[in-house]
Amino acid sequence: MLVVTNSIKVKPGHGKEIAQRFAEAKGVQEIEGFVRMEVWHEAKEGAEAEELKVSTVWEDEEAFKRWTSSESFRQSHGQGRNENILGASLNKYELLISHSK
C-alpha cells in the first residue's frame, strides 16, 4: 500500500471552498489500483494559512503512476493557479503496519 499526501496551504477562510474541488473524484476512482481519497482540513484561529491534506491510497506505486500519467490527471490539474493557494508539497508513504477494529 502507498499513501500519497498533497499538503496544500491556502489563505484563511478559503480551505473548505478549495476542498470542494475534490468532492467529485474526476476520474481517479477509475484508475486500477486506486483504493480511496480523503480530504482533511485544518484551520487554526489566527493562523496565517489553512491547510488541506489530500490523501490518496493506492495498492502500489505503479497504480499511482498510472494516475499521474492519465488524461484524467492532466484535466483535473490543468485548471490554472488559484490566487488563494499559497503553496503545496507532495509526500509518499509506504504502509508498514496497520491495525483495524
pLDDT digits (tens, 9 = 90+) for 16-51: 999 998 887 789 999 999 999 999 999 989 899 999
pLDDT of residue 82: 84
pLDDT of residue 43: 92
Q: Are 76 and 26 in contact (CB under 8 A)?
A: yes
pLDDT tens digits, 48-65? 999 999 999 999 999 999
pLDDT of residue 79: 67
Q: Are 36 and 56 in contact (CB under 8 A)?
A: yes
User: Which residue matches cell numbers 504502509?
Assistant: 95
pLDDT tens digits, 68-95? 999 988 888 766 678 999 999 999 999 9
- CATH for 2-94 is 3.30.70.100
Q: Which three cell numbers stand for residue 35?
A: 483504493
Residue 84 carries which DSSP code?
T
Give the SS3 label for residue 69. coil
Domain ranges in the chain are 2-94
Q: Which three cell numbers stand for residue 23?
A: 468532492
